[in-house]
Amino acid sequence: MTVSREQAPSKHRLDVARIRKDFPILSRKVNGVPLVYLDNAATSQKPRSVIQSLVDYYEGYNSNVHRGVHTLSMEATNAMEEARAKVAAFVNAESPDCIIWTRNTTEAINVVAKGWAMQHVKAGDEIVTTGMEHHSNLVPWQQVARERGAKLRFLPVAADGSLDLSEVDSIISARTRLLTVVQMSNSLGTINPVKELAARARAVGATVLVDGAQSVPHMPVDVQDIDCDFLAFSGHKMLGPTGIGALYARHEVLEQMEPMLVGGEMVLEVTYEDATWNDLPMRFEAGTPNIADAIGLGAAIDYLQALGMDQIRGHEIELTRYALDAFKELEEVDVYGPPDPQARGGVVPFHSASVHAHDVGTVLDRRGVAVRTGHHCTMPLMRTLGVAATARASFYIYNTVEEVDVLVDAMKEALRYFSDGAR
Ligand code: C6P
């Protein structure tokens, strides 16, 4: 390996070698070489403790929740509610009742769009978002705006990948009913000043939603400090199972919302003609919930908290700094997002005019390196950047600078291969 870069002295204290032993998948090979998993923004790998929590549930106390007085049902109910309390504490929610189980971030945002926005956004109102949103935090608002006669407005993306806030005082105005903004961009890595934006939105009486899909897994996030009304995030990006996510909602806002789904479990009293709604949070959880995966998310939070979110953030800043320096050696490659590793998460998107992103992905895969290629569910942003697709490396607790070296070497190989016309 020829890359000669000074490694910054380590301030974080993650024992990555030990952490890697907790993740069975990291010892597998891909195409005959060790797996280098750099697709964590898409989904993270799972530690043995999370996998074991699912086995424990199914082998030991599998049962429905909130329904039975029998022992298994009470054990399952307690475990799921304990997991809810862990999620609440993780984002500093006022109470576990402010946490609604969803399948993922996408569903959490839709719960707000259908259950809050359809009631509270009126004709002539404005919904303010940004030019770097994931489709999951854009398409629901397009629908709300269309159906309610409201207008969507965008805080634009500056050339360095940060938000251009020069017009913020005219974009967030007395007409703003909702500000909905991603805290960490999945396509640029940019960390947005959500606390300052929320304060600006509150000052004009607007409601605030934060898309925490990429931030909650990677940095400390505190809903009371941000002062947001909603925070949406997914378990599968933070060491938890797929199929479980959460919506944090401020208590008084939840009281003003309508449930998106109705049926069993979310009702208090039902007659042949009518029904009344259950207390929070069950009012928003119709039908049997995803019990096992909620418990698994609780185990994932235990794992993250044992490491410390500040330490995790520090580790990723170092990897990102190292990767940004390494990519500077590749002149034909453009790297997107803010140049300062402190201003971004561990997401490094890159693109070369000489190799299509999908070809990059294929060459990298031959070297065992898993990255995501494509538009990353941010098609409007790709148009702003002037590219159809990028390749994206994204880091987590188990990644190492040696893996960044493998990535950069493999990218050099892709550039050589395609510039030689050796297709
Ligand atoms: N981004 C990525 O590879 P779901 O799919 O519901 O768990 O998360 C949706 C979502 C919402 N907002 C942001 C900022 C996201 O990054 C994502 C998921 C993945 O970038 C899959 S498209």
Report which ligand 1 atom has the smallest distance to the Cα of 186.
16
CA distance 249 to 117: 13
Tell me the CA–centroid distance for residue 221 and ligand 1, in Å.
Answer: 17
Residues 107 and 225 in one domain: yes
84 pLDDT higher than 90: yes
Range of the domain at 167: 50-305
Which residues, including other chains, have CB under 8 Å from residue 406's CB and lie 6 or more apart?
36, 367, 368, 369
Work out whether the CA dihedral 241, 243, 248, 254 comes out positive or negative: negative
| Test site for ligand 1: of 40, 43, 105, 130, most ligand atoms within 8 A of the Cβ | 105
- Residue 9 DSSP class: P
CA atoms within 13 A on the CB side of 165: 8
How much of the chain exceeds pLDDT 70, in percent?
Answer: 96
* 2 within domain boundaries: no
For residue 11, the model assigns a pLDDT of: 56
* Last residue in a domain, options 305, 321, 352: 305
Model pLDDT, residue 422 = 47
Q: Give the separation between CA 30 and CA 56, rounded to whole angstroms.
A: 30
Integer angstrom CA distances of residue 279 from 3, 141, 247, 255? 59, 27, 16, 9
Cα distance between residue 106 and residue 108, in whole Å: 5
Answer yes or no: do 103 and 238 share one domain: yes
CATH number at residue 219: 3.40.640.10
CA dihedral 84, 85, 90, 95 (to 10 degrees): 110
3-state SS, residue 295: helix
Query: Which of 103, 377, 382 has most ligand 1 atoms within 8 Å of its beta carbon, as the pocket-test mutant?
Result: 377
Task: For residues 402 and 280, state if they share a domain.
Answer: no
Same domain, 340 and 284: no
pLDDT tens, 157-194?
A: 999 999 999 999 999 999 999 999 999 999 999 999 99
Could you tell me if 318 and 281 lie in one domain?
Answer: no
DSSP one-letter string for 125-174: -EEEEETT--GGGTHHHHHHHHHHT-EEEEEPBPTTSSB--TTHHHHS-T
Task: Report whether residue 136 contacts ligand 1, using a CB cutoff of 6 Å.
Answer: yes
- The 3-class SS string of 202-259 reads HHCCCEEEEECCCCCCCCCCCHHHHCCCEEEEEHHHCCCCCCCEEEEECHHHHCCCCC
Q: What residues act catalytically?
A: 377
Claim to verify: residue 172 and residue 277 sit in the same structural domain: yes
Give tens-digit pLDDT for 2-18. Answer: 334 444 445 558 999 99
User: Which of 40, 102, 186, 238 to mutate to test ligand 1, by most ligand atoms within 8 A of the CB atom?
Assistant: 186
Mean pLDDT of 351-364: 95
Strand 36-37, strand 369-370: pairing:
parallel
Averaged pLDDT for residues 304-313: 98
Is residue 234 lining ligand 1, measured as CB closer than 6 Å? yes
Residue 372 Cβ inside 6 Å of ligand 1? The answer reads yes
Q: Tell me the per-residue pLDDT of 148-161, one tens digit each, with 9 for 90 and over.
A: 999 999 999 999 99
Residues 92 and 23 in one domain: no
Distance in Å, CA 146 to ligand 1 centroid: 23
If one counts the domains in the chain, the total is 2
Residue 277: strand pairing partners:
267
Q: What is the pLDDT of residues 234-271, one digit of tens each?
A: 999 999 999 999 999 999 999 999 999 999 999 999 99
pTM: 0.96
290 with 385, same domain: the answer is no
Do 266 and 278 form a contact (C-beta atoms < 8 A)? yes
- The residues pairing with 269 across neighbouring beta strands, listed in sequence order, are 276
